[in-house]
Amino acid sequence: MYRVVHLGRMYHAVHRGDQVSKRATTDLTDLTEGCLGAFVRSGTLDLSLDQLASDVGISKRMLVHYFGGREAIEERAMTLLENRLRAQFAPENFPSGIAAQTVINALWDRTTNPKSKGVLLLVMDLSRRAWNGSPRATSFYQEQQQLWVELLLRYLPDKNTVEDVLQSFQGAVLAYLITGNPEPGRRVLNRICARLETCRKFHKETKQHRTG
């Protein structure tokens, strides 16, 4: 009898522990979402724990209790941001067989959409950290670069061309953040695409002439 009761108590204790663990995981996921939202609204990771707690709607003590410290908060928020950007800009999310200019204009529209400004500022803030030597921010920056390279390689002829377009795109983004006007950047990117299309047609006609 004693053993049955004892095992029953153990079962219920473990079962309750599973429930607590699941609830804690859910709470941590929700809090990570809230922290990322706060970082996006501010356009930076450089919020004090007091500011972050106030924005998320939890006490600073509980914030530290759940995450263990600031570094863990930033790590989880960056990982969540990486996952969202990966899902948004994954190559398979863009149709094949369309012109590079169409893709680049779509990317430009997404990047300069007013609703995306907080994310854009946060990504730039992480780039600044990468430039200052942060290993985690450098890893974030490199993953984003690789994601865009993989996407653009589906529509551009080679890696060198992708690099040229990507550098021009990033320069246009900086100008947009300063001026708030997306149109000059769009015109620059469209001119680059037009030159690439002219080169493509020229090489195609030259090849046909030689084989003809």
Question: Mapping DSSP to helix (H, G, I), strand (E, B) and coil, where does residue 141 land?
Answer: helix
Flag whether pLDDT at 26 surpasses 70.
Answer: no
Any alpha helices (H) in 49-99, and if so which ranges?
49-56, 60-67, 70-89
Measured CA angle at 89 (ends 85, 93), to 5 deg? 130
pLDDT tens profile 121-171: 999 999 999 999 999 999 999 999 999 999 999 999 999 999 999 999 999
Least confident of 5-14, 40-49, 122-131: 5-14
pLDDT at 66: 92
**Reported pTM:** 0.79
Q: Is 98 left (phi over 0), alpha (psi -120 to 50) or beta?
A: beta
Flag whether pLDDT at 188 surpasses 90.
Answer: yes
The answer to whether 49 and 64 have CB atoms below 8 angstroms apart is: yes
pLDDT tier, 3 (very low <50, low <70, confident <90, very high otherwise): very low
